[in-house]
Amino acid sequence: MNASSSRVDPVALLAAPAILYMLVVFALPMSVLVIRSFSGSSGPTIEAYTSFLGDAFNWRVIGNTLRIAFFTSLVCLLIGYPTAVALARSKGAVQALLLVAIILPLSVGVVVKTFAWQIVLRRDGIVAAFLVATGVWDEPQLLLFTETGLVLGAANVFLPFMILPIYSVLKLINPNLQDAAATLGASPAQRFFRIALPLATPGLFSGTSIVFSLAASMYVIPSLLIGDRFQTLATLTGRAFLLMRDERLGSTTATVLLVLSILIVTVSAWAVRPKGGR
């Protein structure tokens, strides 16, 4: 083997502090949780998983987690894509103002924003008043403590994580491609589905995977907006550790949530990889 090819790139060493940090604060604690979920009184066992997956309630919890994460990602995608397009096409002060409007909410804590959404989603809140004014509802209804309210609140918190990955891809696309396609006779629909959407796919998948993972693992937002009657894997994990003092159940639910997150990231990475012959 060539000595020069076996040498470590010095630039790669710049990632060493981040890698070490993630190993200590993430990989090591998660490894302990995974090992604990397979531990039994007489040695390694999968009894915790067979018991967890054998309970119909836990399957409803998994369904709740995936459903809320899916609809939150969908709402963020429907709002985030056109916003990212506007951000990528704007210039100067307008682009700066849009970036500030998108990034500034990240400086506000999740707890503060969630409490604010408790006010917004009340029967006399802004959302109910808007829907009555537009004729969607005949009278104000309570959105707080509902799945719809949870999706709206979660989408508000996670929307920047959808917009920014899409924007980072769109800003690299040559804007003249659309004009070139138009001069060749492509209709607006053809330009969107044949040019704009395929080129934006990496950003769409990246943003969707990030939001889906965040929505699947959120704890504070469902606890405050919908309460204990609606359980997800994250809230069940917190309940197992904090209230039930059942470390084995908490480790099992945390591991299941970790596996789901890894699957999401893996599928997204596979979907955006270059395809041979395309």
70 falls within a domain: yes
Report the greatest alpha carbon distance in the chain. Answer: 76
- Residue 58 pLDDT level (bands cut at 50, 70, 90): very high
What is the model's pLDDT at position 277? 44
Where in the sequence is the domain holding 22, given as residue range(s)? 11-45
Q: Are residues 248 and 124 in the same domain?
A: yes
Q: What is the pLDDT of residues 188-210, one digit of tens each?
A: 889 889 999 999 999 999 999 99
If you average pLDDT over every residue of the chain, what do you get? 89
Question: Total domain count for the chain?
Answer: 2
Q: Are residues 31 and 76 in the same domain?
A: no
Q: Are residues 37 and 161 in the same domain?
A: no
50 falls within a domain: no
- Residue 274 pLDDT level (bands cut at 50, 70, 90): low
Q: What is the pLDDT of residues 115-149, one digit of tens each?
A: 999 999 999 888 888 889 888 888 888 899 999 99
Mean pLDDT of 16-22: 91
Q: Which amino acid is at 267?
A: V
4 falls within a domain: no
Q: Are residues 27 and 150 in the same domain?
A: no
Q: How far is CA 236 from the centre of its chain?
A: 19
3 falls within a domain: no
Calpha distance 229→235 (Å, rounded): 10
Q: Are residues 214 and 76 in the same domain?
A: yes
Q: Are residues 129 and 23 in the same domain?
A: no
State both tokens at 141: 């209804």
Task: With a cut of 90, say whether residue 15 has pLDDT above it.
Answer: no
Calpha distance 273→27 (Å, rounded): 26
Please state the length of the chain: 278
**Better-scored residue on pLDDT, 229 or 168:** 168
153 falls within a domain: yes
Q: Domain containing 123 — which CATH number? A: 1.10.3720.10
Q: Are residues 29 and 108 in the same domain?
A: no
Q: Are residues 137 and 231 in the same domain?
A: yes
144: left (phi over 0), alpha (psi -120 to 50) or beta: beta
142 falls within a domain: yes
State both tokens at 269: 């990475």
Calpha distance 171→212 (Å, rounded): 23
Task: With a cut of 80, say whether residue 64 has pLDDT above it.
Answer: yes
HEC profile of the chain = CCHHHHCCCHHHHHHHHHHHHHHHHHHHHHHHHHHHHCEECCEECCHHHHHHHCCHHHHHHHHHHHHHHHHHHHHHHHHHHHHHHHHHHCCHHHHHHHHHHHHHHHHCCHHHHHHHHHHHCCCCCHHHHHHHHCCCCCCCCCCCCCHHHHHHHHHHHHHHHHHHHHHHHHCCCCCHHHHHHHHCCCCHHHHHHHHHHHHHHHHHHHHHHHHHHHHHHCCHHHHHHCCCCCCCHHHHHHHHHHCCCCHHHHHHHHHHHHHHHHHHHHHHHHHHCCCCCC
51 falls within a domain: no
Q: How many CB atoms lie within 10 A of CB 214?
A: 20
Q: Are residues 64 and 135 in the same domain?
A: yes
Calpha distance 158→178 (Å, rounded): 30
6 falls within a domain: no
Asked if 86 and 171 count as a contact pair (C-beta separation under 8 A), the reply is no
